[in-house]
């Protein structure tokens, strides 16, 4: 399925090289965390005016900031009416700032002063694999979708490219730099999953977004994900610094948290030595449906290609437990790629039976050798007893 994210590319800002991939689903900025979080809102209006809306239908950042301060931290907050999210129209925000939970058709609502977006998703028949469980690709689709829905429900997202108003005026889009996903248990067909997502400042050069997937009945954590985004000019494909207007725009939506939900894997992903690769798929080309809105290859397609290079004998008995991706360069409709993988945990790719955990390093590259993406996957031996039950319901 085509989607809005994708478009890994490489460009430079101030002489530095940075790695990233476009993503309509993220709302991160290249900003200075401390200055952002400690900034005193200026030109605040009277409390009455806080409940009003500007002519474009969005409460200004300083107003939102004040509302955040005024509200008790445990008060639920609804910043959009159902028309807003259902129609995708950028209509006025609702006057109801109280704890009224407005479950939209998509099932989304805001929590914790509007900083956390929560949505229930039901695992559909077209999202599952042969084992009746949600596929990894389907899970990634929901990372993007819930991020975009938060942007719609809050009114932060104002164009179809996932940009804020100021970003759109400056022709800027979001790009993914890294993505890290850990799946403890894949939900099964018809299971209902509760997804929480929020944004936070991440270092000097970007902003992060985290997700938690939970069993909606038991609260059991099913999966966590962390992504770091930066901003890019849509035309020049160069990274961009964040102007004050954008900082102000984003500030009310940024969580004050110190670190992502998934701790960084300390081990750097080395560039895979091509001659040492265990597995290799060549001649990979995107189809027209793999293109995103900018006519670049979508994020999810990259993951398909990575998984194609993993031995089928592994997939039959192991579940994908974790994936770390570092985007290096974009590719387009005419690109022809190779997907290489190498087992980095002990043992050979022919004998997995002795190992409970198997790790691979991955490389997607153009046929001319240029690096597109580096990745690492961790696979865990499947509990076959559980699996049998999932076939009968």
Taking the least distance from each CB to a second copy, the nearer of 245 and 304 is 304
Beta bridge partners of 10: 19
Q: How far is the CB of 181 from a second copy (least distance, A)?
A: 15
Q: By the 8 A CB rule, do 179 and 227 touch?
A: yes
Q: By the 8 A CB rule, do 199 and 260 touch?
A: no
- Residue with the two structure tokens 């949505």: 119
Taking the least distance from each CB to a second copy, the nearer of 201 and 340 is 340
Q: Please count the residues of the chain.
A: 393
Residues that bind a second copy (CB under 8 A): 1-4, 24-25, 85-90, 105-107, 120, 122, 124-130, 132, 135, 137-138, 141-142, 144-145, 148-149, 152, 159-160, 188-192, 287-289, 291-293, 295, 300, 304, 307-308, 312, 315, 390-393
The Cβ of residue 369 has, within 10 Å, a number of other Cβ atoms equal to 8
Q: How far is the CB of 113 from a second copy (least distance, A)?
A: 24
- Residue with the two structure tokens 């479950």: 103
Q: How far is the CB of 385 from a second copy (least distance, A)?
A: 17
Taking the least distance from each CB to a second copy, the nearer of 152 and 254 is 152
Q: How far is the CB of 391 from a second copy (least distance, A)?
A: 5
Taking the least distance from each CB to a second copy, the nearer of 70 and 86 is 86
Taking the least distance from each CB to a second copy, the nearer of 196 and 304 is 304
Token pair, residue 384, equals 């076959």
Q: By the 8 A CB rule, do 128 and 135 touch?
A: yes
Beta bridge partners of 121: 193
Q: How far is the CB of 336 from a second copy (least distance, A)?
A: 13
Token pair, residue 255, equals 């969580």
Indicate the helix (H) or strand (E) that contains 373. Answer: strand 371-381
Token pair, residue 109, equals 């609502």
Active site residues: 294, 296, 331
Q: By the 8 A CB rule, do 358 and 345 touch?
A: yes
CA dist 108 and 294 (Å) reads 27
């Amino acid at each position: 399925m085509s989607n809005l994210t994708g478009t890994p590319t490489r460009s430079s800002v101030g002489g530095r090289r940075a790695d990233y991939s476009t993503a309509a689903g993220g709302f991160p900025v290249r900003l200075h965390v401390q200055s952002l979080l400690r900034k005193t809102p200026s030109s605040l209006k009277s409390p009455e005016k806080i409940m009003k809306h500007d002519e474009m239908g969005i409460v200004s950042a300083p107003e939102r900031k004040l509302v955040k301060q005024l509200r008790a931290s445990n008060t639920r907050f609804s910043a959009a009416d159902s028309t807003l999210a259902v129609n995708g129209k950028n209509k006025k925000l609702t006057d109801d700032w109280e704890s009224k939970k407005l479950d939209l058709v998509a099932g989304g609502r805001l929590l914790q002063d509007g900083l956390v977006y929560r949505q229930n998703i039901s695992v559909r028949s077209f999202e599952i694999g042969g084992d009746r469980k949600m596929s990894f690709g389907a899970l990634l689709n929901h990372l993007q979708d819930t991020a975009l829905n938060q942007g719609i429900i809050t009114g932060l997202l104002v164009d179809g490219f996932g940009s804020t108003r100021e970003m759109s005026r400056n022709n800027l889009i979001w790009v993914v730099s890294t993505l890290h996903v850990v799946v403890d248990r894949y939900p099964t067909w018809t299971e209902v999953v509760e997804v929480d997502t929020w944004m936070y400042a991440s270092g000097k050069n970007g902003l992060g977004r985290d997700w938690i997937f939970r069993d909606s009945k038991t609260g059991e954590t099913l999966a966590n994900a962390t992504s770091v985004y930066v901003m890019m000019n849509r035309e020049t494909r160069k990274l961009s610094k964040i102007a004050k207007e954008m900082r102000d725009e984003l500030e009310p939506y940024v969580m004050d948290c110190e670190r992502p939900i998934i701790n960084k894997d300390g081990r750097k992903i080395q560039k895979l030595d091509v001659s040492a690769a265990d597995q290799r798929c060549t001649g990979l080309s995107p189809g027209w449906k793999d293109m995103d809105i900018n006519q670049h290859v979508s994020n999810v397609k990259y993951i398909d290609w990575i998984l194609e290079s993993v031995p089928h004998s592994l997939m039959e008995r192991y579940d994908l437990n974790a994936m770390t991706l570092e985007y290096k360069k974009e590719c387009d409709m005419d690109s022809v790629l190779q997907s290489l993988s190498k087992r980095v945990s002990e043992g050979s790719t022919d004998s997995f039976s002795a190992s409970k955990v198997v790790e691979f390093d991955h490389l997607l590259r153009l046929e001319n050798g240029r690096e597109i993406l580096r990745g690492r996957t961790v696979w865990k031996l499947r509990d076959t007893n559980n699996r049998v039950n999932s076939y009968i319901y």
